[in-house]
Amino acid sequence: MAHAPRNIALIPARGGSKRIPGKNIRPFRGKPIIAWSIEAALESGLFARVLVSTDADAIADVAVRHGAGVLPRPAALADDMTPLAPVLLQALETLAASGEAADNLCCILATAPFVRAADLRAAHGLLVRERAAAVISVATFPYPPQRALTLTPAGRLAMLWPEHELTRSNDLPEACHDAGQFYWLDAARFLAEKRIFSADAAPYVLPRDRVQDIDTEEDWRRAERLAAVLARDEAES
- Give tens-digit pLDDT for 33-45: 999 999 999 999 9
Q: Say whether pLDDT at 208 is over 70.
A: yes
| Mutual angle of helices 57-65 and 33-44, in 10-degree steps | 40
Domain count, the chain: 1
Average pLDDT over residues 185-189: 98
Q: Give domain status of residue 85, yes or no.
A: yes
The reported pLDDT for the residue numbered 67 is 98
CB 183 within 8 A of CB 136: yes
C-alpha 38/C-alpha 103 separation (Å) is 20
CB 153 within 8 A of CB 210: no
Q: Give domain status of residue 1, yes or no.
A: no
C-alpha 210/C-alpha 114 separation (Å) is 6
Q: Give domain status of residue 130, yes or no.
A: yes
CATH number at residue 203: 3.90.550.10
- Give tens-digit pLDDT for 87-127: 999 999 999 999 999 999 999 999 999 999 999 999 999 99
Q: Give domain status of residue 97, yes or no.
A: yes
pTM: 0.95
Q: Give domain status of residue 59, yes or no.
A: yes
The reported pLDDT for the residue numbered 3 is 67
**Domain of residue 32, residue span:** 7-140+177-236
Q: Give domain status of residue 131, yes or no.
A: yes
The three-state (H, E, C) secondary structure of the chain, written as one string = CCCCCCEEEEEECCCCCCCCCCHHHCEECCEEHHHHHHHHHHHHCCCCEEEEEECCHHHHHHHHHCCCEEEECCHHHCCCCCCHHHHHHHHHHHHHHCCCCCCEEEEECCCCCCCCHHHHHHHHHHHHHHCCCEEEEEEECCCCHHHCEEECCCCCEEECCHHHCCCCHHHCCCCEEEEEEEEEEEHHHHHHHCCCCCCCEEEEECCHHHCCCCCCHHHHHHHHHHHHHHHHHHHHC
Q: How many CB atoms lie within 10 A of CB 109?
A: 24
- Give tens-digit pLDDT for 149-181: 999 999 999 999 999 999 999 999 999 999 999
Q: Give domain status of residue 81, yes or no.
A: yes
The reported pLDDT for the residue numbered 2 is 52
Q: Give domain status of residue 227, yes or no.
A: yes
